[in-house]
Amino acid sequence: MSQLHEFLSILQPNDISKINKIRIIGVEKKILSLIMNYRNKALPKAESICKDENITPTHFYKICSLLLDKSYNVLVPEKGYKLLEYLNQKDLYRHFTHELLLQEKDENFKKNNPDLEKFYGNVFLLLQRVSAGDLDEELIDSYGKKYLGSIKNKNEGDEIFVRACFLNTKLNLLKVTKKGVESAHAINKELTSIEEKLVNKNYPKASFYINKAQSTYFHQTVGDPKMVIEYQQKNIHLITKNPTLFESDALVQAECRLAEMLYMDNRFQDAFDAYKKIFSTYKNELESDFYHHSRYAQLAIIIEKYSIASELIESKFGVYIENKKQGPGTMGAILMSKLTLFTNQEQANKYIQLAKRLVNKNLFIQYEYEIRILENIYFALQDDAKSAAIMVKKSLKFMYSKGLTLKNSEMIYVLVLLDEILKPGFEMSRFGIRLDKKYKSLQNSYAVIYGKLITKVIEKYNQN
């Protein structure tokens, strides 16, 4: 996929209409028209296009580069950092890093960016906002050093700020891979040690990012909503007291995390209402936030606001699903799998299989667990209980091999419940005290969506 094709494939209709108005003629116009026609499908090989248009591969790539640059000019005429921010928001990591390299190589780079401290500080933060699959510790570390090197009056707080950001990135990577719990605990010890050193010191940004990293730890590793809330409230206080020191969406992100803690605390309607208010108030600030958008959509499914869920998924993830893009495309396909299992089961398997094709199995292990469970539930809801039961046993074997047990994972319990339900002559009374208790707890937990799906399966197989 060329960079131009990838760029055009994730744009919304209003952006496409602007690009279609670019004044070009001849072969450039023909190439743009051709790639536009292939926005939602694989582009023919460059050799085939060059043969049809009677141009050399070098000429073709030059045209694509020129058209990409003209597209940038139309959509982000300010160029510079604004373009980097735009590409980051669109989850175009390859474009973002390529443009960053081009800007730094430009002989007028320093003239265009008289405040290098601000530029490198902003880029350092943007590199941490990419999809988890694109997080690059070495690149983040290198731009942290560039940022520190650009500060005229550097102090201890600046060093701590960069270190806290880096540790937060490591925690996010540990979360998506479900590896290195001990490493996460070690990071928490370092953060706590730094926290103690910051007592009675006035380094607002350093304190903010230490709090943010601790919040990540207590959310993703420990699962303690109360501690997350405590750290987010500290950050809201810091933002309110020092508003000019923080990026424009810092307060929004803190409020989103508080809304998510309502979700974790099983207050689903309250969490949905909080997200609804946040997204209606801060639409622009949340343009690049896929994670909280997905939480909002999932809450809509949980409280059975299916039309709202469908609209949320389509507006944020639709173009990424349609063009089969890893990261947000995987997230969107999983959300659609969940939604259609409740609303249109005939369509569910299409999204489940798409998610299976898109997921990065080496990185997003949690996604792989979810996809397997959704597939098992889908087949359990079909008319072949025997095949579904065989599939469940294979999934259980796979998850046990990954270290999941009844003590450390609700995902295992979902499959164990399915295994019981799919046995011939199932009656709900066969669950026994332990499984019955777990089934009931699923109805009022962070994994409630699976509790609701298990209920659908029970309704199909219960012989009482």
Coil vs helix vs strand at 49? helix
Q: Which residues contact 457 (CB under 8 A, 6 or more apart)?
A: 377, 380, 381, 418, 421
**pLDDT tens track, the chain, 464 positions:** 589 999 999 898 899 999 999 999 999 999 999 999 998 888 999 999 999 999 999 999 999 999 999 999 999 999 999 999 999 999 999 999 999 999 999 999 999 999 999 999 999 999 999 888 888 999 999 999 999 999 999 999 999 999 999 999 999 888 755 557 889 999 999 999 999 999 999 999 999 999 999 999 999 888 899 999 999 999 999 999 999 999 888 999 999 999 999 999 999 999 999 999 999 999 888 988 999 999 999 999 999 999 999 999 999 999 999 989 888 999 999 999 999 999 999 999 999 999 999 988 766 788 899 999 999 999 999 878 888 999 999 999 998 888 888 777 778 889 999 999 998 888 777 778 888 888 888 888 888 999 999 999 999 887 54
Query: How far is it, in rounded angstroms, from Cα 29 to Cα 4?
Result: 14
pLDDT (0 to 100) of residue 464: 45
Query: How far is it, in rounded angstroms, from Cα 48 to Cα 142?
Result: 40
Structure token digits, residue 265: 């605390």
Query: What are the angstrom distances between the C-alpha of 229 and each of 23, 248, 264?
Result: 52, 21, 11
Query: How far is it, in rounded angstroms, from Cα 246 to Cα 331?
Result: 29
68 closest CA partner among 109, 116, 28, 27: 28
Note the pTM of the prediction, 2 decimals.
0.84
Query: How far is it, in rounded angstroms, from Cα 340 to Cα 184?
Result: 35
Question: Beta-carbon neighbour count of residue 119 at 10 Å?
Answer: 22
End-to-end CA distance of the chain: 55
pLDDT (0 to 100) of residue 177: 54
pLDDT (0 to 100) of residue 179: 58
Question: Beta-carbon neighbour count of residue 402 at 10 Å?
Answer: 13
Structure token digits, residue 302: 């949980």
Locate tokens 């926005």: which residue? 39
